[in-house]
Amino acid sequence: MKRIYFDNAATTPLDPAVLDAMLPYMTEKFGNPSAIYSYGRESKLGIENARKSVARILNAHPGEIFFTSGGTESSNTAITAAIRDLGCRHIITSAIEHHATLHTVEQLHSSQGIQLSEVNLLPNGHVDLEHLRQLLAGSAKRCLVTLMHANNEIGNLLDLHAVGNLCKEFDAIFHSDTVQTVGHYPFDLRNTPVHFINGAGHKFHGPKGVGILYINENVKIKPYIQGGAQERNMRAGTENLYGIVGFAKALELATEHYEEHSRYINDLRLYMAAQLQQHIPGVAFNGDLYGRSLYTVLNASFPKSEKSEMLLFNLDINGICASGGSACTSGADAGSHVIRALSSDPNRVSVRFSFSRDNTKEEVDAVVEKLKELV
């Protein structure tokens, strides 16, 4: 059976050109980057060249880019440091953040008594910026605002500049989880009012287990992981050498082909939305599909029936990979916290389809045909 993979917001296949860039660092260039002899210097050079490349693409200073194990570690580091090192005693977030953010802020709230507020969401899932202003203006303590740039389940995009300027006005620290957008959109960090952002290589055809944390040069924090002096004393542990090289190569390729790939993927997403509307009675879409929305994600909502209750399971049996929400909770049966926050209608079943440049209209047609049977 030919499988159809429509879960690219969870992870993407490794680009062969990225693997080619990584292979020398898996074989002959194997030295520990902390070593002073030639093998070590060679490895260190690979890391620093990767850092420069990432910084250039994001328009940041190389000293602001730190390599981590991925988006989760980066979010944990930024949020914890804002409380521990930057004097924040009030966290403002939303109910639809990734669990890497939600679980971290809940833990800080319960263990340290940090004040925790949730900003209201508009009916289309966007953050209510007026309510955010009220929360910031009404806080007697320094705030950390942690809001994701693009929601991984419904695709809604946050206006980074609007939120960043609000934070600046009220002397708040701003962390944005940009895991779904680094590698998918151009960034200009020198001209974006944000203190921390994060990225993960496997979201844009790079390797798993490697990410970045951008720390604005005006922010001084302590390490989250203690040990050696790696990453300029900011992140202990022997560097994931070939992962870092792969991250930089994947980001270079994604940036080079951004215009062409983003247009192609968005056309595919809108084509699928149109086909579903044409062929599936009662279909609806979660999030701001035709507005400010991530071009890779389509979250479709179907009327609940005996057939559709087992929809993901039946799609899988038919070789179609999609998700009921974030892949990070795919083993849980509690359903999506994002969909719950947006809708209290228990009579709908939601499926996230997410696309890459490798998908085709023929695959969309095959999935829609199968959905006609299953829904």
Catalytic residues: 328
Q: How far apart are CA 238 and CA 20, in angstroms?
A: 22
Distance of CA 246 to the CA centre of its chain: 18
Q: How far apart are CA 273 and CA 150, in angstroms?
A: 19
Q: How far apart are CA 177 and CA 78, in angstroms?
A: 10
Edge-to-edge order in the sheet of strand 115-118: 65-68, 211-215, 196-200, 173-176, 143-146, 90-93, 115-118
Local structure of residue 186 (DSSP, 8 states): -
Cβ distance 285 to 275 under 8 Å? Answer: no
Cβ-Cβ contacts under 8 Å for 316 (sequence gap 6 or more)? none
110 CB burial (10 A radius; 0-12, 13-18, 19+): exposed
